Amino acid sequence: MSWNAYIGDKSWNYTHNTNEMIATVLEEHGAKMESHWLIGHMGKSWFTLLNGLSGRAGAKFLQIVVDGLERDPDRFVAMNPPNGWGSYDTLLPKLREMLAASRHYPNDTWEVHG
């Protein structure tokens, strides 16, 4: 399974297997996550927090995630899923692209589901 994110004319799709990394950063920043592994319809996941934000607000949110992941790469690499679907090394560039798009479309709205 995967999540899908859209803003402006940009879109991304990525596996849920790395949700734990993002949820860890957000929990340490004070977000209340019900579970690292719960996804969309099963519980609150990180992308439900991005959904509906403006590009401007989404940029702030995504900057927190990117900064958190960049602060301790070894810790998050250790969270890579054992099945090989998704990794720190492929997730971080995707989030950086999303951050750049958020800045490019400050008045658009994020649509994220999974």
Q: How do residues 48-95 score in pLDDT, each as one tens digit?
A: 889 999 999 999 999 999 999 999 999 999 999 999 999 999 999 999
**Taking the chain, what is the end-to-end CA distance rounded to the nearest angstrom?**
8
Helix pair 19-28, 88-104: axis angle to 10 deg: 60
Task: Note down the domain range covering 62.
Answer: 2-113
Whole-model pTM: value is 0.89
Domain count of the fold of the chain: 1
Query: Which residues, including other chains, have CB under 8 Å from residue 20's CB and lie 6 or more apart?
Result: 36, 37, 79
Q: How do residues 69-82 score in pLDDT, each as one tens digit?
A: 999 999 999 999 99
